[in-house]
Amino acid sequence: MTVDAWIAEPVNWVFSIVAVVILFTAVRVVTSPNVVHAALYLVAALAGSAVMFLLLSAEFVALVLVLVYIGAVLVLFLFGIMITRAPTGFDEGLSNDRKLVSAAISLVLLGVLSWASLSAFGTDTVNTVGSPTATEILGDAILGRFVIPFEVVSFILLSALIGGITVARRDLTPLEEEERKAV
Amino acid sequence: MDWIDFLIVVLRVVVVFALLLLVTIINVWAERKVVADFQNRIGPERAGPFGMLQTVADGLKLFFKESIIPARSEVGMFLLAPFLAVIPAFLIFLNIPFGRPITIGDRVIPLQGMDVDVGLLIVLAMSSMAVYAVVIAGWSSGSKYPLLGGVRATAQAISYEAAMGLAMVAVVLFSATQAADAPGGTLSLAELVERQSGTWAGIIPRWNLIPQIVAFVIFFIAAIAETNRAPFDLVEAEQELVGGYFTEYSGMRFAMFFLAEYINIFSMSALTATLFLGGWNGPTWDGVLPVWLSALLPFVWFMIKTYVLVFIFFWIRATLPRLRYDQLMALGWKRLIPGALGWLMLTAVVLGYRRFGLPWS
């Protein structure tokens, strides 16, 4: 497919615009000097990814991305930021001098992911816009063929949850127990 | 898709928009009247008959007031937040079918902003987006009370969204067994309403309310919490936080938060009516009544059901005192979420037993 033919498709215009937005916001997530701004740029980047899924006619995945990441995970991020510190100016201590290492790791990750998806799917194409994947098929796949990975992921989440509670919880000292009983 | 189809789509969206603005004007007035009656006061009575134009007068007043931007605020975010409040509110109602599809010529026009296969997910996603407006407004004001309101909103939204989603799952699971011709579940709101038509034993309407009563109670409590209404209005608790997240807002920007809140009340009531009370289903006496009346009746049934729930919103506000923060968290995490999970399992086991029989037989 030549570039002219590629750009003639309206879907690809949307793709290009959204891709530019995602790249810009993703860069701003790590370069923004204000931690709340960084979190909000992450929201924008995730919203862009949701649009990408919509372009691939994966409605369910797109909406679950919005629901779980934007609607829950990022809200928790913001909660964490605001309950500890919520600067409205610049935050000097936000960056450190380990930029090279992070850049190298990011590049390696990009390489691995690109290699994995290229070798898995190659030149396969997906459904065109307007014929979305039925949610039923996804449900059958998750609870059929992929049920064991699904359960494993659930257990990882459960153990993370229990770990979080154990780390955050502070048992009362005997003295405090006495005080609480007295009240 | 020719230009008439395009026009119909535009018209549907405009109708939803106008409907929401209209019901907001009525709802603000109705709430003041209802709460006034509960508290043995008169309420608005000067502007128009029964004070019905009070909301219009208040709206005009806010329109002409100065919108103050505090010096310590983050200006961009501060200006963006009111829009973030209104947009998800509109998008939620866009998914809700408010009448039976009308047939004109050979065109079937669904009375719904948009009918998507995953409509229920859009509603859930949008209602979880609404918290961003509160958080961003609270944070960008650069003031203490709004920030506290924003922090409270985040925790509250996360806690009650989970219960709401789990209650919805039970309903979706149940309605998967309700389709006569097409077995399998659905997330389309139009289809969910369709499956609640008809009656059991000739008199009991086939609403999800009766078999899913526990889910209904959990869902409705979570819906009140999601809209930050009393008794869950810690986000804007006047006695503690001045006005909560919109303390620093004035003029039209304040009006937009107000508008979003009332649209959300109406949308959540409409969604509850759609999921549990059969949506627009009801007797239409086709063939007995004139055609236009039969076409109008489903909309009337929908509005009646929705307004019963809107009234319950007002009733609860006038009756219950505000929860303390720890009570809010305890209710969400220790009562509603385990309750919703238990109910979901019970529903799944009963439906599984009905379909497959005992596991060892």
| Range A3-29 average pLDDT | 84
Structural domain contains residue A105: no
Which two structure tokens, joined as six digits, stand for A135? 């949610």
The encoded tokens of residue A42 equal 């992450």
Residue B330: which pLDDT band, with cuts at 50, 70 and 90? confident
DSSP A95: -
Helices and strands (H, E) in chain B, number of each type = 12, 4
With beta carbons less than 8 A apart as the criterion, state whether B146 and B246 touch: yes
CA–CA–CA angle B70, B76, B77 (5° rounding): 85
B88-130 confidence digits (pLDDT tens): 888 888 888 887 887 777 777 777 777 777 888 888 888 888 8
Tell me the pLDDT tens digit for each residue of A123-143: 776 655 566 667 778 888 888
Same domain? For A140 and A73 the reply is no
Q: Which chain B residues have any C-beta within 8 angstroms of a chain A C-beta?
A: 72-74, 77, 116-118, 121-122, 124-125, 128-129, 131-132, 135-136, 138-140, 142, 147, 150-151, 154-155, 157-158, 161, 184-185, 187
User: What per-residue string of b and e applies to B97-123 under the rule 16 or more CB within 10 Å gives b?
Assistant: bbbbbeeeeeeeebbbbbebbbbbbbb
What is the three-class DSSP state of B287?
coil
Rounded CA gap, B201 and A26, in Å? Answer: 58
Residue A55: pLDDT band (50, 70, 90) is: confident
Domain contains A123: no
Average pLDDT over residues A172-181: 76
Q: Is it the case that residue B291 has pLDDT exceeding 80?
A: no
Largest CA distance in chain B: 74
Lowest mean pLDDT among A69-73, A179-183, B141-145, B348-352: A179-183
In a domain, A168, yes or no: yes
**Residue of B1, B95, B118 to mutate for A, most A C-beta atoms under 10 A:** B118
Position A173 in a domain: yes
pLDDT digits (tens, 9 = 90+) for B215-274: 899 999 998 888 888 788 877 767 777 777 777 788 888 888 888 888 988 998 999 998
Evaluate whether B150 touches B138 at the Cβ level (below 8 Å). Answer: yes
Residue A96 within any structural domain of the chain: no
Specify burial of residue B39 (Cβ count, 10 A radius: 0-12, 13-18, 19+).
Answer: exposed
For residue A67, give the chain B residue with the closest CA.
B125
Give the domain extent around A146: 134-183
A161 and A83, same domain (yes or no): no
Express as a percent the part of chain B with pLDDT over 90.
6
Domain end: A61, A90, A119, which one? A90
Per-chain mean pLDDT for chain A: 82
Do A2 and A76 reside in the same domain of the chain? yes
Q: In one letter, which amino acid is B144?
A: K
3-class DSSP state of B280: coil
pLDDT at residue A86, as a whole number: 56
- The percentage of residues in chain A with a pLDDT greater than 90, rounded to a whole number, is 20
In a domain, A33, yes or no: yes
Q: Are residues A79 and A143 in the same domain?
A: no
SS (H, E, C) B8-67: HHHHHHHHHHHHHHHHHHHHHHHHHHHHHHHCCCCCCCCCCHHHCCHHHHHHHHHHHCCC
Looking at residue A15, which CATH number applies to its domain?
1.20.120.1200
A124 in a structural domain: no
**Is residue A58 located within the same domain as residue A5?**
yes
Contact B278, B167 (CB under 8 A): no
Q: pTM of whole model > 0.90? A: no
Name the residue among A71, A82, A136 with its Cβ closest to that of B161. Answer: A71
Q: Is A3 a residue whose pLDDT tops 80?
A: no
What's the mean per-residue pLDDT of chain B? Answer: 83
Least confident of A79-88, B24-33, B90-99: A79-88
For residues A131 and B294, give the distance between their C-alpha atoms in angstroms, rounded to a whole number: 34
Would you give the DSSP letter of residue B244?
A: G
Number of domains in chain A: 2
Q: Compute the distance between CA of residue A44 and CA of residue A22 in angstroms, rounded to an integer.
A: 7
The CA-atom distances, in angstroms, between A30 and each of A16, A39, A150 are 22, 10, 31
